Structure 1
Amino acid sequence: MPSLKTDNQTLYETDYLQWIEKTVEKLQSQDYGNVDWENLIEEIENMGRRERRSLKSNLLVVLLHLLKWQFQPERRSGSWEGSIVEHRRRVREALSDSPSLQPYLDIFADCYAQAVKQAKAETGLSLETFPILSPYSLSEVIDDDFLPRFTTESEQ
């Protein structure tokens, strides 16, 4: 007779959705002895990582489009503004659903640096065009009413 661990591992590897459904059933019926704890713990850990990665990704997209909005005003489009609105909403929802993500926002400076690199690549503008430090505060980045105005190099 195959072991429980082998059965759980096989199901986890071959039908993820069914593994989830069976795991939920076992937890609901308090059949704790037959729960695939190893994979369940791994999945819960991965959920936390995904939440942090998603927050970082959405923050980066907002910053990227704010930079493009500010430094390429002649190329502004509804899709840029739509992207800003959408990704701001995602950031706010993530923070609302999981307030414990708030301390993770110390990634802001890193996100800005990555957004600058991507903005350079997407716009063809020189790296020196963009401020070294973010010209936007975190509260501005997630504020639906904020859009930066165009600044010339002499204003920076």
Structure 2
Amino acid sequence: MASSSEPSIDWRDLAASSHYLTAVAVQHAMQCGDLAMAEAGIQELIDALSRSEKRALRSQLICLMAHIIKWQTQPERRSRSWVATIASARDEIIEIQAETPSLSRDVIESLWEFCFRRAIREAEAEMECSSAISTLSWQDVFEREYSLDS
């Protein structure tokens, strides 16, 4: 059992700064027999990893939506790079979901409006003009084919 003179660990701060150091601290707590401390550390590490994956999902969804907004707003500027970015973001989202099954379609739908607003802001800044796009459907984002041939 850990002695009362041992400093308390701020698991949230530690997990936010380093997953590795959090795992090492959990291991140390287990070796010292402080299972309650180890359990608290493991839970915070799980939560931190979940937040990290959710941030990655949001980032990819914003990137994907921004490129689709640009695609729809500036058809004359379409490029192979935009096609590749759209495909890459879709692939990344699929991989994130495969690695973290809890990040389901329902989670994506719960992030949709936030990501769409951010995507509009990013796309308009990159295009240096306003977009008339007011919404994107699931089909627009995940099912429609984007190619220079169509």
**Cα distance in 2, alignment partners of residues 92 and 141 from structure 1:** 13
Q: Does 1:49 align with 2:51?
A: yes
**Cα distance in 2, alignment partners of residues 65 and 48 from structure 1:** 26
Please tell me the residue identity of whatever aligns with 1:131: I
Please tell me the residue identity of whatever aligns with 1:53: R
- Identity percentage of aligned residues: 25
**Cα distance in 1, alignment partners of residues 5 and 85 from structure 2:** 47
Please tell me the residue identity of whatever aligns with 2:76: E
Deviation at 1:18, TM superposition (A): 5.5
How many residue pairs end up in the alignment?
140
Contact 1:59–1:91 under 8 Å retained in 2: yes
Please tell me the residue identity of whatever aligns with 2:48: N
Deviation at 1:78, TM superposition (A): 2.5
Deviation at 1:138, TM superposition (A): 1.7
CA gap 1:43/1:71 in 2 versus in 1, 3 angstroms: same
Find the counterpart in structure 2 of residue 152 from structure 1. none
Runs of 5+ unmatched residues, structure 2 = none
CA gap 1:54/1:19 in 2 versus in 1, 3 angstroms: closer
| 1:107-149 CA distance string (max 9 Å, x none) | 21221122111111110112xx322222xx2244123x62289
The RMSD of aligned alpha carbons is: 3.4
**Cα distance in 1, alignment partners of residues 92 and 79 from structure 2:** 20
**Cα distance in 1, alignment partners of residues 147 and 54 from structure 2:** 26
Q: How does 1:5-154 map to 2 (within 5 A)?
A: 5-6=6-7, 17=20, 20-21=23-24, 23=26, 33=35, 36-102=38-104, 103-105=106-108, 106-126=110-130, 129-134=131-136, 137-143=137-143, 146-147=145-146
3-state DSSP class of the match of 1:146? Answer: coil
